[in-house]
Chains A and B, each alone.
Chain A
Amino acid sequence: ILNVEQSPQSLHVQEGDSTNFTCSFPSSNFYALHWYRWETAKSPEALFVMTLNGDEKKKGRISATLNTKEGYSYLYIKGSQPEDSATYLCAFKHNYGQNFVFGPGTRLSVLP
């Protein structure tokens, strides 16, 4: 059974703070890692698709890095805004798996 972990479970930051959180996954047989943002009462929305060790992706104030050899990915948010409040999910797929395994998510609250 694949184990995908995310930390912290939840996070409260002030508007303007920068923050980051972690997704940990098995380091062997890596295939792909996705990051999703899930706002309350909405559906998960794709942020990044990461496939290569050392990948760095950026979308506005949000960026992500990938280390497949050690089995982790970081998501960074620079200058958090209240609209960044959401649950951030990572989803991991390995070579022998047919489906993506989702982590439990990090719930971010940005206080104005």
Chain B
Amino acid sequence: GQNIDQPTEMTATEGAIVQINCTYQTSGFNGLFWYQQHAGEAPTFLSYNVLDGLEEKGRFSSFLSRSKGYSYLLLKELQMKDSASYLCALGNTPLVFGKGTRLSVIA
């Protein structure tokens, strides 16, 4: 199986930094995706990690450690518009999604 665990909900303050974790148990995968989904909207692609390490994209960074079965999405300088669900997905055929983490950014 490919169990993927993410915290269900998180709350953070505007301007702060938040780390959303994703742990998984699987025998293999090509890479790990992160998607953002605002309420009532489609998921949108944020990042893809194929190698271990940190991928930085503006305010968002994603990290992968295959040996530890662990990834995280780091959001810096949080803005109210970052309130959304964040989904991690293992890159297999088909993609396997976690249930997502609902992030609420408060003033």
Task: Determine if chain A interacts with chain B.
Answer: no
Q: Chain B residues in contact with chain A, CB under 8 A? A: none
Q: Chain A residues in contact with chain B, CB under 8 A? A: none
